[in-house]
Structure 1
Amino acid sequence: MRFVVVGAGAVGGVVAGRLAGAGFDVVLVARGANLEAIRSDGLRVRSPEGSDVYRLPVAATAGEVDWRPGDMVLLAVKSMDTAGALSAIAAHAEPGTPVACVQNGVANEHAALRMFANVYGVCVMLPATHLVPGVVVANCAPTPGILDVGRYPGGVDGTAAELAAAFRAAGFHSEPRPDVMRWKYRKLLANTANAVEAVCGRVDGIDEIARLVRDEGSSVLTAAGIPYASEEEDRERRGDILRMRPVEGEQRQGGSSWQSLARGTGSVEADYLNGEVVLIGRAHGVPAPANELAQRLANQFAREGRAPGSLPVDEFRSLMTSPLR
């Protein structure tokens, strides 16, 4: 099995590097300055245990990949880029090519199933950072992350088991899960706090707002009859596996949405995190005002190029109670 990793950001870069380091055949699809840096200097993966450089074949588009029988796609782009990435892959890869969504959010697998017959969900618990072209940081050690795998919409087959085994060989914790989407909905609830952290930063008072946004999301999923793993299950699965440590003396500053604002990408995946809660709520007549506000603010920050963490918590709290919001 050769892995075609589409998206060489924080998660895609760490996964690609670890798989390559374990001896697997890996091809990257990247873009922009990240593409040029990897082509010129290789993919650098930093961690609390050191730094490694991987000289991997890297393509600018799916059309540049020499697609082969037995290839497996690891889709690791942000959710707002999923549709474009899938269309590009479908133009060149066979429809039976397995596609694993190594992504936050819960809409990617459904989109992939429209174009590919064999789709897999990966529940990503992988604190990682990407702020510099060609460089990704795995912030946990000795285990960089948890990557549980299941077939979409449900079940486990030989490919899911093989992928989980490859992840384990690369140093991740990974289990095949027939109910992987139930776990991805739990991760969705955790990720609703991403937008809050992105606009307010990690400051006093943020935990209260993050809890409000998550609890609102839980109420929406419950009202919609969507199953999701409990906090207790999530806590037990994580255990003490993910041990966040400084990397070359530096602490992790923020999650994926914070990083998007820090890099000035002009976009953020709030529409597929908080926006997913808003969408489900609207479809079932359940208001989700806190998630709607978080979605709107994160998108506004991205459009306007505002610095992450620049909105005072008190202002966010005030906007939640404003009738004009």
Structure 2
Amino acid sequence: MRVAILGAGAIGAYVGAALHRGGTEVHLVARGAHLEAIRSDGVTVLSPRGDFTARTPATDDPAEIGPVDYVFLGLKANSYASAGPLLTPLLHDRTVVVAAQNGIPWWYFHGLKGPYEGRRIESVDPGGAVTQVLELGRAIGCVVYCSTELEGPGVVRHLEGTRFSIGEPAGGRSQRCEAFSTAMVAGGLKCPVEDDLRKDIWIKLLGNAAFNPISALARATMVEIATHQGTRQMVRLMMEESLAIAAALGCHPEISVDKRIDGAERVGEHKTSMLQDLEKDKPLELDVILAAVVELAELTGTPAPTLRAVHAVTDLLATKVGVA
């Protein structure tokens, strides 16, 4: 099995290092000082589960790698539509794309039986631009329950979690999912193949759709949001609205809103990825995390006043990011 990690940042480099440790042939696509450090010294993982170093091939030119069996996408979802030049050299007829993204994926209605089967979500796939780059038939979904950060070029700090749930858009279990899961487990990760990955998508999205935008607006950490009376109630309302939207789409994740908030509180003084992007003046990953949820509320006729209000203000904030 040949695997390319396209976007070998904190999560991508961690997955690549783990797969390499498990015996998979892995190639990392990175850039800048991070790439040079990997070429020189490999990827160093610092983890409470044990430190290790993986010396994997790395490049900024996917053409040097050529076609692989699996591409693990470590890119932010807002860069998918422009990823074609990087992705194309890695593909053969049966290459599988494992998309480890936050929020609602571009493939959400692919293979989903019911009134919305085959529908495109404009927020995440504007004009079909993402589908043109990432063919629906290649896609395997991936929900990441793992926290990492780049401590320096070539150095990944693994904070917690090792689960990468995967699944076919059409549901059920496939040989290509099972093979990728086996490789991930050999590298020391958890990689369950879910019969219905959409439940996992919504469970994670409950937290992301609420905590990410509020953290950016308030410049607040997880524990600050969860322990402030006003924002805790806002998070609860956003989560309840999100569950109602999921139910209207036929998905019923079994989760307690209060337990979800308590779990976020235990994470402590952690800055969400959206707040980190804001502080670095990077584009906010708002479309897949919140705009798509609002779009799905409109599609299903589900009331979502809190989600709409928070999205409106965060969307205005997003227009100011990167503006001098």
How far the C-alpha of 1:85 sits from its partner, in A, is 2.2
Match of 2:283 among 267, 271, 277: 267
1:268 and 1:131 map into 2 onto residues whose CA distance is: 21
SS of structure 2 residue aligned to 1:16: helix
**Bigger mean CA deviation after superposition, 30-39 or 13-22:** 30-39
How far the C-alpha of 1:259 sits from its partner, in A, is 2.6
Match of 1:138 among 158, 183, 194: 158
Any conservation in 1 of the 2:4–2:90 contact (CA below 8 Å)?
Answer: no
Change (3 A) 1:286 1:130: farther
2:188 and 2:155 map into 1 onto residues whose CA distance is: 19
Any conservation in 2 of the 1:278–1:287 contact (CA below 8 Å)?
Answer: no
2:53 and 2:317 map into 1 onto residues whose CA distance is: 33
Q: In structure 1, what residue type is equivalent to 2:42?
A: G
1:22 and 1:7 map into 2 onto residues whose CA distance is: 20
Counterpart for residue 98 of structure 2:
100
2:312 and 2:32 map into 1 onto residues whose CA distance is: 27
Counterpart for residue 84 of structure 1:
82
Any conservation in 1 of the 2:97–2:140 contact (CA below 8 Å)?
Answer: yes
Change (3 A) 1:87 1:221: farther
Match of 1:195 among 191, 199, 213: 213
Any conservation in 2 of the 1:183–1:228 contact (CA below 8 Å)?
Answer: no
Counterpart for residue 310 of structure 1:
none
Change (3 A) 1:91 1:289: farther
SS of structure 2 residue aligned to 1:261: helix
1:5 and 1:92 map into 2 onto residues whose CA distance is: 10
Change (3 A) 1:130 1:42: same
Change (3 A) 1:196 1:163: same
**1:231 matched to 2:229:** no
Change (3 A) 1:116 1:278: closer
SS of structure 2 residue aligned to 1:154: coil
**1:27 matched to 2:27:** yes
Deviations 1:53-95 (A, max 9, x none): 3332222243332224xx2111121111122225631355124
Q: In structure 2, what residue type is equivalent to 1:230?
A: E
1:290 and 1:161 map into 2 onto residues whose CA distance is: 39
Change (3 A) 1:178 1:95: same
Q: Tell me how many residue pairs correspond in the alignment.
A: 288
Change (3 A) 1:38 1:103: same
1:302 and 1:40 map into 2 onto residues whose CA distance is: 37
- TM-score normalized with structure 2 length: 0.76
Alignment of 1:181-260 (within 5 A): 181-193=198-210, 194-200=212-218, 201-202=220-221, 203=224, 204-205=227-228, 206-223=231-248, 225-231=249-255, 253-260=270-277
Change (3 A) 1:129 1:42: same
2:151 and 2:207 map into 1 onto residues whose CA distance is: 22
1:265 and 1:39 map into 2 onto residues whose CA distance is: 28
How far the C-alpha of 1:272 sits from its partner, in A, is 0.6
Task: Give the root-mean-square deviation of aligned CA atoms.
Answer: 3.2
1:260 and 1:303 map into 2 onto residues whose CA distance is: 13
**1:161 matched to 2:178:** yes
How far the C-alpha of 1:277 sits from its partner, in A, is 0.7
1:303 and 1:64 map into 2 onto residues whose CA distance is: 37
How far the C-alpha of 1:42 sits from its partner, in A, is 3.0
1:94 and 1:252 map into 2 onto residues whose CA distance is: 44
Segments of 5+ residues of structure 2 without an aligned counterpart are 109-129
How far the C-alpha of 1:305 sits from its partner, in A, is 5.2
1:10 and 1:160 map into 2 onto residues whose CA distance is: 23
Any conservation in 2 of the 1:101–1:109 contact (CA below 8 Å)?
Answer: no
Alignment of 1:30-41 (within 5 A): 30-41=30-41
1:52 and 1:259 map into 2 onto residues whose CA distance is: 26
Change (3 A) 1:145 1:94: same
Change (3 A) 1:64 1:227: same
Q: In structure 2, what residue type is equivalent to 1:286?
A: T
Alignment of 1:49-60 (within 5 A): 49-60=49-60
